[in-house]
Structure 1
C-alpha cells in the first residue's frame, strides 16, 4: 500500500483579526483553508492588502489565528515553526558581514563550529552562482546577487518548508526570471514544501504546482485553487510560451481581475479619506 504524502502546512478555518487604534477589530483573513503537501510548490496570489503575507506569518508561527487551527506535518503548531525558512521581500543581510559570513551566520547561531559553517556557506554560495563573491559586502552586490545570498542563507539550514514573501518583487523582470529558474533548480533537488506569495500571476503559474487566489480584504478568503498543468522540470522562459500557460492565465485572471479592481477601489477610497 502506497504511503500517503504528509501535509507540510495545513490551515484549517484560520481567521486572523487585529485590534486597531479606535478599538475596533479588523478581520484580515477569514476561515482560510489551505493544505500544502510535502514537496509541493504552492503560490498565493491576490490584491494588495488581502492578507497573503498574513497567511505566511501564521504558517511561520509569527501570528496566532483568532480562530481555526494550524498544523505542520500533521501536528499542531505551537510557537515558531522551526521546520520553516522564511525569505522576505526586503533583504535580511547584515551590512557589516561579507556574503560568506551572511550565509554562515545561521549555522553559527545554531552551534555549528565556525570552520564547518564557513565551509558549508562556501558550498552554498557556489550553488547560487556566487562562489567568486564570497568576500564582498552587501553594498557591493547587485539586487539579484543579494537575493541569491538571501536564498543561500535560508537554504543552508535545510528547512523542510520554504515560506517566500514576494522574494523577487524588487528585481527587474529579467532578473526575476533568472532567480525563478534558480529557485526551481534548487527546489527540484530535494522538493521542499513551498508557500510562495506574489502579486505576479505569470510568476505564480510559471513556478508553482498550484495557484491559490485570495479575495480582496477585509475578511479576505481563499476563493480559488488551480493545479498548474505544465510539466517539470520547467524553464520559466519556455513555460510562458506554452498554450496551457496562457489558457490557465486567462481562466485565473477571469476570477482575479474583479478582486484586484475591488482592492484598488478600496485603497483609492482610503487615500481620499485620509
Structure 2
C-alpha cells in the first residue's frame, strides 16, 4: 500500500532560493545574497549569525518586504509576499523613538495611526510599558531613559500591534553585556507567553544559542549563502546567564564556531583588502 502523503508543515516565513542584488553607481551588479533557503515555523525562534557584511540584515529586509529579491520568492504564512509584510513587527538596532514624545506616547502612536481612539491607545500602551518593566517611566522622554530602557519602549511599541512575526536586527547590539542579558531574558519571557515567529539577527554566537530554537549561519559575502542550520536542544524556559554555563551549550558553541570562524576570517580579509584598495 502506498504511503499517505504527509501534510506540509506550516511556515510563518519562507525564503525560497532568494537572491538579492544591487545595481551599483558604475553599472556593476553586486550580489549580496545568493539562493537563500530559510523557513521559520509559527512560534519558532530562529537566529541568523554570520560575518559583518554577509547579508543578515538584507534577509530581514526581504522578509519585511522592504527589499524584493532579484530571484526566488518570499512566502508569509504560505502566501506570497507582495509589498510590505503587514504581519511583521521590525525592531531595528538603532532607536526608532520620537524624541519629542514620551514613552507612553511613543507606544500609543503605534495604535493611533490605525485609528484606535487616543484614550484606549494610552490605556493599552500603559499596560505594555508595565509588561516590559517601565510602568513607572511612561511620562519620560527618550533622552531621560537609559539605552536598555529605550529598547524596552521600542519592544513595547512593536508588541502592542500584536504582529505574528518579530524581525529583530541586532536589537541589543549597542547595550553593555549585563543589560544585554537582562533584555535577552525579558525577550524570552515575553516570547514564551505568546509564541510569535522570530527572526533574530546577531553577531554574537553565544546570544544566538542562548535565545533561539535554531541557529542559521551565513557565509562571508559577496554572494553570501546559508551554510549551516543547527537545532538548539537546550531546555526551556531558559535563563541567559545560567544556560551559558551548561555543557550542552559549550558543545554546540564549539561545533558551530568551527564552521563560523572560517567565514569570519574570510569576511575580515575581504574588508581589509577593500580598505587597502580604496586607500590606494
- What is the TM-score with the length of structure 1 in the denominator? 0.98
What is the Cα deviation at residue 143 of structure 1?
0.2
Give distance in 2, aligned partners of 1:104 and 1:163.
Answer: 20
Alignment of 1:1-274 (within 5 A): 6-274=10-278
* 1:3 shift after superposition: 8.0
Q: Please state whether the residue corresponding to 1:273 is helix, strand or coil.
A: helix
Gaps of 5+ in 1: none
* Separation in structure 1 between the aligned mates of residue 102 and residue 224 of structure 2, nearest angstrom: 41
Q: CA RMSD in A?
A: 1.0
2:3 aligns with none
Give the deviation of 1:215 after TM superposition. 0.1
Number of aligned residue pairs: give it: 273
> In the alignment, is the contact (CA less than 8 A) between 1:40 and 1:193 conserved in 2?
yes
Unaligned runs of 5+ in 2: 1-5
- CA shift at 1:4, angstroms? 6.5
Partner Cα distance (2:124, 2:273) in 1: 51
8 Å contact 1:5–1:38 — kept in the other structure?
Answer: no
